[in-house]
Amino acid sequence: MIEGNHKTRKIGFVMLSFANGKWRARYKDKAGADVRRVLPVADESEAVELARQYNREILGDRDAVPTWKPRKSHEGMTVRDGLMKALKASGAHSAGHTINSVRGCNRFLEFMGRVYPDIVEWAELKPSVLKAWVCELQSASLAFDSIRLLLAPTRQASKFWALELPESFRDWTAAARIRLQKPIPKQPPVLNAGRLTAFLDWLAVNAKRLYPLGVLQGMAGLREYEAANVCVGDLDLRSGYVTVGKTALHAPKNRASYRRIPLGRLACARLTSALHAMAVINASSEEPLFLNDRHRPFGTSALESGWTRTMRRARSALDLPEGFTAHHLRASFVSLAYAGGADSRSLKTYVGHAAPDILGAHYLSLSDSDMRSVVACFDKAVDNQNQPANDGFSGRILAVAR
């Protein structure tokens, strides 16, 4: 008998509880009615025997089945299974997030097989493992966001299992107490009008598949994946508009990224010549407009590897700023449009940035003429500054986040 303590125990369908010197039973009968009883016993073994009797009454001729399912055992779960099961349970909501998560998992598994080959089970992981992995990623001179994305699936899996089975696993990544140091904000490397024109001309000859993507990024401010996943029906050069929306391979970054924006004179001229060279014939409006060298839609790997190889060749052929990548084409567009006099709020809406305040998010509605003014300012800045590349950049510069 237990004096002055509280105890609970489940026997089949019956929940036993002991408090204030009495045993109580609670369960649902065959009809589903809630039954509560104070048991006329003082010993735990006698209470258990009564609970078993109530279970036999509930089951009767065994037509009834328990409504609960026993939890599967995760003892001996490998590191790979722990990552994959947690990733599946998290339900990544877009193709891009799933690819990044799988990439982080694979890289962590490769690291474990190379540095910690003796650690096989998830329960064997320790905070020192995460510290060693972070040191390796930082020694590879990866960017802050690259390290953050590679660590994300491992951290999520550790938290998932700590919440799912706290009696078996702990959040070993949280125990490591690692906080990545954000890099010091710096001015993005951007191209002036002369360099941007020279770079796009070079793309038109040396990377024809990526050329229209570069035009949309450098002369319309689209993100890399937005430009690569434009469908046939999204680009209307007669009216001079491009639509950014959800496709089979890509979902816009935020609600403000869904947009239909006008194209400038310079962008329309370059895209028209590029499409004539591509000869798009009888394609469905929902099919991707731009294809890679294998005549397939640009996937994440194909797009990143294609831009990496192209930028390596471009750096040796052109005078590009240090650290310049394909993403900085978007930054170049923003800086040129801003230098040409574009309003900052209109410019943020044009490139699909989320509004920073309630006014922009819920009340302010910008007209088509406001969007037209952005590309007009960009075209004006290019026309005024279109001269041989120099080391400086004249005009105002506005840094743009990804």
The number of C-alpha atoms within 13 Å of 125 and in the hemisphere containing its C-beta is: 35
Instruction: Supply the pLDDT for residue 76.
Output: 72
Looking at the domain covering 193-385, what would its CATH class be? mainly alpha
Backbone angles phi, psi at 355, to 5 degrees: -65, 135
Read off the amino acid at residue 319.
D
* pLDDT, position 204: 93
Among the listed ranges 29-33, 109-113, 208-212, which one has the minimum average pLDDT value? 29-33
User: What's the rounded mean pLDDT across residues 377-382?
Assistant: 92
Which tokens sit at 290? 């731009």
Give the per-residue pLDDT at 400: 41
Average pLDDT, the chain: 82
Burial class (CB in 10 A: 0-12, 13-18, 19+), 387: exposed
User: What does DSSP say about strands 14-19 and 22-28: parallel, antiparallel, or unpaired?
Assistant: antiparallel
- Amino acid 257 reads S
Please compute the mean of the pLDDT values over residues 305-309 and round it to a whole number. Answer: 92
Between the ranges 14-23, 79-88, 331-340, where is the mean pLDDT highest? 331-340
Among 150, 155, 147, 151, which residue's Cα sits nearest to residue 90?
A: 155
pLDDT of residue 332: 94
The pLDDT score that the predictor gives to residue 64 is 43
Q: Where in the chain is the domain with CATH 1.10.150?
A: 79-175
Residue 26: DSSP 8-state: E
Which tokens belong to 261?
């924006």
Query: For the domain with range 79-175, which CATH number is right: 1.10.150, 1.10.20, 1.20.1070, 1.10.720?
Result: 1.10.150
Those residues with Cβ within 8 angstroms of residue 252's Cβ, 6 or more apart along the chain or in another chain: 226, 244, 245, 246, 258, 352
The predicted model gives 141-152 an average pLDDT of 85
What does 320-359 look like in DSSP terms, one character per residue?
PPTT--TTHHHHHHHHHHHHTT--HHHHHHHHTPPPSSHI
CB 400 within 8 A of CB 351: yes
- Taking the C-alpha atoms of residue 292 and residue 249, their distance in angstroms, rounded to an integer, is 14
- Top pLDDT among 281 and 228 is at 228
